[in-house]
Amino acid sequence: MAETPTPPSGKFPSSIPYIIGNEAAERFNYYGLRAILATFMIQQFYNPTGSTDPAVVQVAEATANAKTHDFVAMVYLLPMFGGMIADWFWGKYKTIFRLSLVYALGSTLVALSVDNEQMFLASLMLIAVGAGGIKPCVSANVGDQFDESNKHLISRAFDAFYFSINAGSVLSILLIPYLKAEYGPRVAFGVPAIAMLIAVFFFWAGRNKYRRIPPPKYDSNKMVILVTAFLSLLVSYLYFDKVKHMGVGPVLGTWAVAIIALAFIFKKQWFAKPGNFVGINLYALTKGGFGAAAKEYGDEAVEGIRSVWRVLAVFIFIPVFWALWDQSQSEWVVQATKMDLNWLGITWQAEQISFVNAAFILAFIPLFSFGLYPALEKMGIRVTPLRKIGAGFVLTALSFVIVAIVQGWIDAGERPNISWQIFAFVVLTAGEVLISITGLEYAYTQSPPSMKSTIMACWLLTVTLGNLLVSVIQTNISNGGFFAQFHGADFFWLFTGICFATAFLFMVVSPRIKERSYVGN
């Protein structure tokens, strides 16, 4: 008779409620601010007189949307620095606490600078530093609270953690636009700032309960990498965005060139461990390919590098998804201001409509996992991650077909009901489940253990690149450039075409991408 395993005896970590309380308040802050950001900047800074002149409206909306996408791009770029700081120097607790203070300061200054455009935008960058810096640390900190005695409870903690994210975001998307309409922007931005201060307090209150994983011994080589990378980004940002007012496109382009130059100037520090991803690729490039590299570093190490490149081959396409998805939080909000907002007997604020995205996500995840995918498998249709992503691109493009048609009605002087945009959200959310969740799974399973953190950082960078694409186009429109001809419905048709083209290319390329799972090995 088989021996019955002894059940684990560990208790649920007492630190988890503090982390969850912190996350709920922080997400309330971020999504509340994000919900009203584009419409506020249009009304306050770029079209304060409420002009209906089409040329004025186009420039105002393009400028506000470009600034919004600049902000999101920076939020998802800066996690690489937060991850380096936590893993190399401070550890997760100090990184989260210290950068949360920066986050809270930026949120407070946003509320105090609603009448000053330059101060307002500078405050947003403080939020980007704080929000981006803590992003790679928070969920990892949840996992750090468990050991062998209680690891069987970790899924319960993550369930509560992700519930807090959705609860905080839905509540803020519904509440903050109402506060903006009834009490003005200072209160609307002030309440999320208070929420962020509460988030910091929650996290600090549990300081003696956290299980902390200490960072490794100080390494001067890593400090050189961090300082050169961050200072080059800061200089690029101050010059191209604050002096030249060119947006984050030139900032990130210049920074990428600077990083390559600095890597070779400080090559002793940047390439201190030649057996890493960069070192092995450089060896293969200069010594005769991956076959030569395998003789030097071993077949398994080189196969891991090849796996990373296969994952990155998929990631090349993902920024297009984020370029469209993130418009649902800005361009779609602007569109909603021109629609009939009466739905279910309630007159909604335009900024509130995106709450349906979170609601549909909660409904679609079990529907797809336990209904659609098994049904397709029974029909003989093999459901693979790459096929899911391809289908997700098609659905994302179809959601933009809907909003483009709606915008055409608006251009013709009609006022369509908001239910049409909600229908677009249903389609977009289905695409999100197929691409975003599947992409995270693919990134984890297809990358070797030594590269999983790097690959997750690359996944976050796809959000930055997607928002960068929209920012560059919107900045060009606001400056009267080539893309200014894509106004009204044509703007959405432009992105519809980009997404359908991406879907086609992905379906051509993806069958040629070899898959290898690194889970359980």
Q: Which two tokens stand for residue 401?
A: 């077909």
- Cα–Cα distance measured from residue 173 to residue 348, given in angstroms and rounded to the nearest whole number: 11
SS3 342: strand
The residues with which 342 forms a beta bridge, in sequence order, are 347
Work out how many domains the chain is built from and give that number. Answer: 2
The domain containing residue 37 runs over which residues? 13-216
In a domain, 510, yes or no: yes
Domain boundary among 216, 239, 261: 216
Confidence bin at 482 (pLDDT 50/70/90): very high
Q: Let me know: does 385 contact 420? Beta carbons within 8 Å.
A: no
Kindly state whether residues 209 and 328 are assigned to the same domain: no
Cα 396 to Cα 67, 89, 357, 496, 510: the distances in Å are 23, 40, 13, 8, 18
- Cα–Cα distance measured from residue 469 to residue 448, given in angstroms and rounded to the nearest whole number: 30
What DSSP assignment string belongs to 216-264? Answer: PSP-HHHHHHHHHHHHHHHHHHIIIIIIS---HHHHHHHHHHHHHHHHH
Kindly state whether residues 205 and 325 are assigned to the same domain: no
Q: Let me know: does 361 contact 429? Beta carbons within 8 Å.
A: yes
Kindly state whether residues 197 and 334 are assigned to the same domain: no
Contacts of 521 (CB under 8 A, 6+ apart): none
Domain boundary among 216, 235, 258: 216
**CATH value at residue 360:** 1.20.1250.20
- Cα–Cα distance measured from residue 237 to residue 407, given in angstroms and rounded to the nearest whole number: 34
Kindly state whether residues 210 and 321 are assigned to the same domain: no
SS3 191: helix
In a domain, 311, yes or no: no
In a domain, 336, yes or no: yes
In a domain, 223, yes or no: no
Confidence bin at 1 (pLDDT 50/70/90): very low
Write phi, then psi, for 27 (nearest 5 degrees). -70, -35
In a domain, 226, yes or no: no
- Indicate if the alpha-carbon torsion angle 379, 385, 387, 390 is positive or negative: positive
pLDDT of residue 5: 47
CA-based R_g, the chain, Å: 24
The tens digit of pLDDT for each residue in 182-195 reads 999 999 999 999 99
pLDDT of residue 272: 65
- Cα–Cα distance measured from residue 131 to residue 231, given in angstroms and rounded to the nearest whole number: 19
pLDDT of residue 422: 97
Contacts of 201 (CB under 8 A, 6+ apart): none
Q: Residue 486: left if φ>0, alpha if ψ -120 to 50, beta else—which one?
A: beta
pLDDT of residue 132: 85
Give start and end residues of each alpha helix (H) in 326-451.
331-336, 355-367, 373-378, 385-411, 419-432, 438-445
> 6: exposed, middle or buried (C-beta count within 10 Å: 0-12, 13-18, 19+)?
exposed
Give start and end residues of each alpha helix (H) in 86-214.
92-112, 117-144, 154-183, 185-205
Query: DSSP state, 345?
Result: T
Kindly state whether residues 203 and 331 are assigned to the same domain: no
Domain boundary among 195, 216, 237: 216
The tens digit of pLDDT for each residue in 177-233 reads 999 999 999 999 999 999 999 989 989 999 898 888 787 788 888 888 888 888 898
Q: Let me know: does 168 contact 120? Beta carbons within 8 Å.
A: no
Closest CA to 358 of 168, 138, 158: 168
The tens digit of pLDDT for each residue in 312-330 reads 889 999 999 999 999 999 9
The residues with which 417 forms a beta bridge, in sequence order, are 340
Kindly state whether residues 343 and 197 are assigned to the same domain: no
In a domain, 250, yes or no: no
pTM score, two decimals? 0.87
In a domain, 264, yes or no: no
The tens digit of pLDDT for each residue in 400-411 reads 999 999 999 999
The residues with which 347 forms a beta bridge, in sequence order, are 342
Q: Which two tokens stand for residue 57?
A: 């409206």
Confidence bin at 275 (pLDDT 50/70/90): low
- Cα–Cα distance measured from residue 356 to residue 425, given in angstroms and rounded to the nearest whole number: 7
| Residue 3 in this model has a pLDDT that exceeds 50 | no
Tell me which of 341 and 161 has the higher pLDDT.
341
Q: Which two tokens stand for residue 519?
A: 């889970």
pLDDT of residue 6: 47
pLDDT of residue 9: 52
In a domain, 155, yes or no: yes
The tens digit of pLDDT for each residue in 36-80 reads 999 999 999 999 999 999 999 999 999 999 999 999 999 999 888
- Cα–Cα distance measured from residue 508 to residue 413, given in angstroms and rounded to the nearest whole number: 41
- Cα–Cα distance measured from residue 454 to residue 450, given in angstroms and rounded to the nearest whole number: 8
Q: Hey, how many other C-beta atoms are within 10 angstroms of the C-beta on 492?
A: 26
Kindly state whether residues 323 and 434 are assigned to the same domain: yes
Q: What is the mean pLDDT of residues 494-515?
A: 93
Q: Which two tokens stand for residue 6?
A: 């002894």
Closest CA to 127 of 103, 100, 109: 103
| Residue 520 in this model has a pLDDT that exceeds 60 | no
Q: Hey, how many other C-beta atoms are within 10 angstroms of the C-beta on 237?
A: 20
Confidence bin at 416 (pLDDT 50/70/90): very high
